[in-house]
């Protein structure tokens, strides 16, 4: 029996179909993600990794299928139920997607404005706590996104995603554009926060180092569905052309060597 057999998934997708015009991106896609795990979503170009993330968080409406998050069927949920679930997830898009006209602290405070009775002083204090949590210096709170390095912007985006103490965090290519040292530090941060806060992490990536360093399981998108899920070791045994070339290529070997050294 699998370790997940008796647990209800915190994200449950069944029969998802995403289509743009005549282009079908996902067809009859199923996926389960369980509490406290970090799942890496990988796939070739055009397999709809980010589309799948956007579908779960409600930015993309599928043509068919069921989406259940934290026990709530989002297709049947009332507006109030939907809002309650949304407060229990945080999203970090590529490069942080911060508001350029707001300071880092003000950016982190944005989700907190949904909470009634939370005064400005308390919001600022909570934002400073999240800024510290992601490893940014205190003074970063007063800076604007344009004044930050790429790595600091990503950390600020993560702080905003954590603003409401979510159960689930969605990360879209979190290490894209970072140098190897910055990417490695961000991988370690994700792993540490997931373990210390009990976060479930849905992580879209193409970075093999990130898969080795952070992910408990990997879900491969191919042929318009989730072709296979499993650990890194299980991926190495999958007999499928794309999966084999991805997990056995030169970059995969280099990532494995790096992981073994650490």
Q: What is the pLDDT of residues 220-262, one digit of tens each?
A: 999 999 999 999 999 989 999 999 999 987 666 566 666 566 5
The strand pair at 23-33 and 11-20 is best described as antiparallel
Range(s) of the chain covered by CATH 3.40.50.300: 1-88+166-236
Quote the crossing angle between the two packed helices 120-133 and 150-161, to the nearest 10°.
130
Per-residue pLDDT, 5: 46
The b/e string for 167-206 (b: 16+ C-beta within 10 A; e otherwise) is: bbbbbbbbbbebeeebbbebbebbbebbeeeebbbbbbbb
DSSP label at residue 120: H
CA-CA-CA-CA torsion sign (33, 10, 25, 65) = positive
Using CA atoms, how far residue 79 sits from 26, 62, 163, 244, in Å, is: 26, 18, 21, 44
Question: Residue 143 has which token pair?
Answer: 């800076």
Distance of alpha carbon 87 from alpha carbon 149, whole angstroms: 28
**Topology given in CATH for the domain delimited by 1-88+166-236:** Rossmann fold (3.40.50)
Residue with tokens 């965090």: 169
Q: Which of 172, 110, 178, 129 is nearest to 149 (CA)?
A: 178
Average pLDDT over residues 101-118: 94
- pLDDT, one tens digit per residue, over 32-71 is 999 999 999 999 999 999 999 999 999 999 999 999 999 9
pTM, entire model: 0.92
């Amino acid at each position: 029996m699998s370790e997940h057999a008796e647990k209800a998934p915190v994200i449950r997708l069944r029969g998802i179909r995403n289509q743009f015009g005549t282009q079908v991106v996902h067809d009859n896609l199923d996926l389960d993600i369980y509490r406290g795990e970090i799942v890496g979503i990988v796939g070739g170009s055009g397999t709809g990794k980010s589309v799948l993330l956007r579908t779960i968080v409600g930015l993309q409406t599928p043509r068919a299928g069921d989406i259940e998050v934290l026990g709530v069927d989002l297709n049947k949920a009332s507006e109030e139920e939907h809002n309650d679930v949304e407060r229990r997830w945080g999203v970090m898009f590529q490069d942080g997607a911060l508001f350029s006209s707001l300071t880092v602290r003000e950016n982190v405070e944005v989700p907190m404005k949904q909470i009634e009775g939370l005064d400005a002083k308390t919001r600022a204090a909570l934002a400073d706590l999240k800024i510290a949590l992601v490893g940014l210096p205190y003074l970063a709170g007063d800076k604007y996104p344009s004044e930050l390095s790429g790595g600091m912007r990503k950390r600020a985006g993560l702080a905003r995603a954590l603003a409401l103490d979510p159960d689930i965090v969605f990360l879209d290519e979190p290490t894209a554009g970072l140098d190897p040292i910055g990417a490695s530090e961000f991988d370690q941060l994700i792993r540490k926060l997931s373990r210390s806060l009990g976060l479930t992490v849905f992580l879209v990536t193409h970075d093999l180092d990130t898969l080795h360093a952070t992910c408990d399981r990997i879900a491969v998108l191919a042929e318009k569905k989730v072709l296979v899920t499993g650990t890194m070791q299980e991926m190495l045994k999958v007999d499928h052309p794309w999966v084999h070339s991805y997990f056995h290529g030169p970059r995969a070997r280099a990532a494995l060597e790096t992981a073994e050294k650490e």
